[in-house]
Amino acid sequence: MAAAPVWSVDPRTGKQREQVAVEATAQEVDAAVRAADEARGALADRAVRSAFLRTAADELQAAKDGLVETADAESALGPVRLTGELARTCYQLRAFADIVDEGAFLDVVINHPDDTATPPIPDLRRYKVPLGVVAVYSASNFPFAFSVAGGDTASALAAGCPVVVKAHPDHPALSEYVAVVLRRAAARHGIPEGVVGLVHGFEAGVELIQHPLVAAAGFTGSVRGGRALFDAAAARPVPIPFHGELGSLNPVVVTEAAAAERAEAIGAGLAGSMTLGVGQFCVKPGLVLAPAGAAGDALLKSLTDAVSDTDAGVLLDHRMRDNFVAGVAERARLADVESPVTPGSGGDHTVSAGFLTVPASRLAAEGEHDLLLEECFGPVTVVARYEDDAEVKAVLSRLPGNLTATVQLSEEEAAGEGRGSEILAELTPLAGRVLVNGWPTGVAVAPAQHHGGPYPATTSMSTSVGGTAIERWLRPVAYQNAPSALLPAELRDDNPLGLPRRFDGRLER
């Protein structure tokens, strides 16, 4: 593998800013993985790793000004958005520290022998242990929250797994900066700096997924890139879990009653959601089923007014800009597709928000309009106008898996009248998060959160946001008839660590 320079690029101009690093060679990837593997023992103590996570959050917060400046130079996302994203990232680290301290994630279950059971039960003690080194593939659109110190890294470290991060090429300087901060936090607790490795380059990402000491991987990105890595993880001599977030259309259904009741509010809310962050959120609503007729017309007028007032914006890189401009043009050329507000180029380096409309009947059967059922990354959505409930069902039946699905209901429908519950039942198989009278952009970091969904939204049934994201990096192990003196402290009867557990069928907290 030839070493090539890694440049920081200004997305506002497309010009190289500075050389940050060089692409990692196979030998350098191997060294990073081995250093991470050697750091596993330092994460064994839960108190040490929870303290490390809190210190990491403190150090990131202390470096806020420099981090946000570096992130904005490489992403053009703006200081306000990036400051909020960094705060979310720090909160997430501290939340996982709390989870580590609580200990419920270990899922301790103890059964004492019972000769009266059929068949007899021996002494069994079960809990979860960390998998090993985790490969993390950074996302372009969240340079903090889904990157070097993001949810995959935070949850892996919380589980006791060191990480090697493959930096995203859109923010290499920031990746280096964040890695330095995390390593500094690790050193304060006697943890080797290799606990957080960082590599650059496409080939390095391939080498990483194939390394025999890598035990699992987390990915956020495109369907094409994620599927290639997923296949590589499965093709290894010893396959490993690959938790990938690949793509999502995030459909929205607006009932006729809802449109008649609050068309203006729905149109404005949709505009705000689809253009948030220049449409670069993985949960952007990309397909909206709205009624034909007067109520739907009023909704479209509100959407048109709001989107028309949206300023042109900068996408994360020029490749994404080119793909967006070409993608919306290809979609707009399809039969019966109209552009009330035309999306596309807003200038040499910017894009303009817009939306397309199409009769829902065009999407109800296989054909060239299937392109409209594919995610288009950027500030655009497709509004499919339906004539009746049968068309809504027909379109929903053709959709792939999604991160989210949303329904806008009237007040009466939300109270149980009409088709509200039926639509909810139709949306549930399609997505990991189902929203009622809201918008999918904005993913709360909360214990009950689920950020995942049926393929291709994700390649597993797990979440990458929220406390249960830690489960991706653990595996259960049971000890049978092990002498007490040989048992891990977590599985001893006297519970020296004070862990929540299920003890002979009783839940102890």
Q: Residues with catalytic annotation?
A: 245, 282
Cβ neighbours of 491 (radius 10 Å): 24
Closest CA to 94 of 51, 143, 140: 51
Is residue 220 within 8 A of residue 460, CB to CB? The reply is no
> Within 13 A of 292's CA, how many CA atoms are on the CB side?
12
Cα–Cα distance list, 179 to 131, 150, 169, 463, 509 (Å): 22, 11, 15, 24, 37
d(CA 401, CA 433): 11
Cβ neighbours of 318 (radius 10 Å): 15
Looking up tokens 């002498």, which residue turns up? 483
d(CA 388, CA 411): 20
Closest CA to 322 of 348, 342, 340: 348
Torsion of CA 210, 216, 218, 224, to 10 degrees: 40
| Kind of pairing between the strands at 108-111 and 124-130 | antiparallel
Is residue 143 within 8 A of residue 176, CB to CB? The reply is no
Cα dihedral sign, 199-200-203-209: positive
Q: Which helix (H) or strand (E) holds 218?
A: strand 214-220
Looking up tokens 């950074």, which residue turns up? 138
Q: Which helix (H) or strand (E) holds 109?
A: strand 108-111
| Structure token pair of residue 208 | 């990483």
> Within 13 A of 434's CA, how many CA atoms are on the CB side?
16
Cα–Cα distance list, 482 to 114, 355, 427, 500 (Å): 16, 64, 48, 21
| Structure token pair of residue 215 | 């035990």
Torsion of CA 176, 181, 183, 186, to 10 degrees: -160
End-to-end Cα, the chain, rounded Å? 53
Helix axes 26-38, 202-210, angle to 10 degrees: 50
| Structure token pair of residue 233 | 């993880």
**φ, ψ of residue 242 in degrees (nearest 5):** -125, 110
Is residue 273 within 8 A of residue 439, CB to CB? The reply is yes
Q: Exposed/middle/buried for 428, CB within 10 Å: 0-12, 13-18, 19+?
A: exposed
| Kind of pairing between the strands at 214-220 and 242-245 | parallel
